[in-house]
Structure 1
Amino acid sequence: MTPAPALLETRGLSLHAAGRCLVRDLEWRVHPGERWCVIGRNAAGKSTLLRALAGLPVPQRHGEVRWLGRPQAEWPAADAAWARAYAPQQAVDRFPISVERLLSLSMVRPGALTAEAVLAQLDVTHLAQRGVMQLSGGERQRVALAQCALQGAPLMLMDEPVSFQDPAHQALVAQWLTGLATSASGAALVASAHDVNWILRAATHVLALHGEGHWSAGRCDEMIRAPRLAAVYGCAWREAGGVWVAA
């Protein structure tokens, strides 16, 4: 039996910006049920990579990205929404519509998820009738995650999905993402993040951007180790009582 194609695949993907190589010859696959976190120092190229994976404009790129085995460039814009969903680091709203209306407009592929269920899971039910332009940064970010999930695409790309969240909501989002990827829908997640301890709760795999185009990838238990973290972040790390700390 021929195996199903990866939800996401890169072939020789290289990205450049401001005269710097961010990623060089990335050969990488993401399969259903996997939860990948992209790590690296500030300006390492995490957001640029996520934009390229989502099919959005980036300064300079070479190589190929495939969704569901089909080259990204061959997907009409209307069909791309069936393949991948993207939550930016910070949403930009131009119209004062309600959260409930925004979520109804976000649904592309009918699925098992309902707006009511996702709002409850992300602790934003009480915001359903509020205008999106009246939300705090953390509230708007959780609504953006709900939009991403309700789109119904099997591949979800999220740029720093907990950057505005308090510790309780960071834990809630980690649990929610795990549930999405392990459900019968067979979804996969690629998210950027900085908090190593949150990554251990939320991810199954890590893609590390080391700078100057270098990268490495593997399972969390292979990647979250002191030498590897030191190489990525440029500082020493130690594990204390099951918690990773930058020394």
Structure 2
Amino acid sequence: MQADPPPLIETRALDLWAGERHLVDGLDWRVNAGERWCLIGRNASGKSSLLRALAGLPVPGRQGSIAWQGRPQGEWPAAEAACLRAWMPQQATDRFALPVRRLLELSRVQVEGSELDLATLDIADLADRPVTRLSGGERQRVAIAQAAVQGAPVMLMDEPIAFQDPAHQGLVARWCADWVARRPGRALVMSSHDMHWVARAATHVLALHGDGRWRAGPVQDLLGAKPLGEIFGCEWLAAGGSWLPV
């Protein structure tokens, strides 16, 4: 009997803190192929810190273990790690006025990353424009494309719909679902403050309370008036299949 493959990401007893604030306490959690996770929580609850830790980047304080495909994170050489996970920060910092097309070429790590159709993220018309002359929303979609063309099976994205208008928010949600579905073995972990978008884009939610507490599960279990009220400290109203803060 063939054993199940290890999770793409697994944390065990993971603690994160910043200064005196304990952000995450004892996180035992796993990301399996085919899943689209969204981190939710109030500002400064630890979403960006957790995403950075999952990507293997420095964070203010960390204890516990993170494994990628069953192998401790620290044992992965940089080149192999780049073939496993791609990281998209909350806001890109561009030092050079590279054309979008050239930036994406430089972002490729392996052949599997070259399949991206720029039209699917509505950036085909931006291909020859310098990245320093893009709007915030345009630059964010280019950043998603940069992570995608890396060719890694795991994408970690911090606020992928930041600066996006409603039409492009919907486009990104559809793109995320399609990106995971098109090839077995892929998974997404992202963050967002928009619960309507989370309901459309995610299959699972990891909620951070900002005081160490956390809760993880299918999206339908955590997007409700009671759990959202506990997470964000405000009341929520059901509206057209989504949830709005009152």
TM score, norm. by length of structure 1: 0.97
Give 1:148's aligned residue.
Answer: 147
State the shift of 1:185 in Å: 3.9
Q: Deviations over 1:68-117 (max 9, x none)?
A: 111000011122101100000000011111110110011112117534x1
Give 1:243's aligned residue.
Answer: 242
Give 1:133's aligned residue.
Answer: 132
Any stretches of 5+ residues in structure 1 without a counterpart?
none
- Aligned CA-pair RMSD: 1.0
Q: Distance in 2 between matches of 1:179 and 1:105?
A: 24
Give 1:77's aligned residue.
Answer: 78
Q: Distance in 1 between matches of 2:144 and 2:125?
A: 16
Give 1:62's aligned residue.
Answer: 63
Give 2:108's aligned residue.
Answer: 107
Q: How many residues in Structure 1 have an aligned counterpart in Structure 2?
A: 245
Assess if the C-alpha contact under 8 Å between 2:199 and 2:242 holds in 1.
no
Q: Deviations over 1:4-34 (max 9, x none)?
A: 0100100111000021000011000000110
State the shift of 1:184 in Å: 2.0
1:219 to 2:218 alignment:
yes
Give 1:176's aligned residue.
Answer: 175
- Quote the sequence identity (%): 58
Q: Distance in 1 between matches of 2:159 and 2:106?
A: 23
Q: How does 1:83-94 map to 2 (within 5 A)?
A: 83-94=84-95
Q: Distance in 2 between matches of 1:34 and 1:109?
A: 22
Give 1:158's aligned residue.
Answer: 157
State the shift of 1:211 in Å: 2.1
State the shift of 1:241 in Å: 2.8
Any stretches of 5+ residues in structure 2 without a counterpart?
none
1:58 partner letter: V
Q: Distance in 1 between matches of 2:242 and 2:148?
A: 30
Q: Distance in 2 between matches of 1:79 and 1:36?
A: 23
Give 2:35's aligned residue.
Answer: 34
SS in structure 1 of the partner of residue 83 of structure 2: helix
State the shift of 1:188 in Å: 0.2
Give 1:7's aligned residue.
Answer: 8
SS in structure 1 of the partner of residue 28 of structure 2: strand
Assess if the C-alpha contact under 8 Å between 2:40 and 2:191 holds in 1.
yes
TM score, norm. by length of structure 2: 0.97
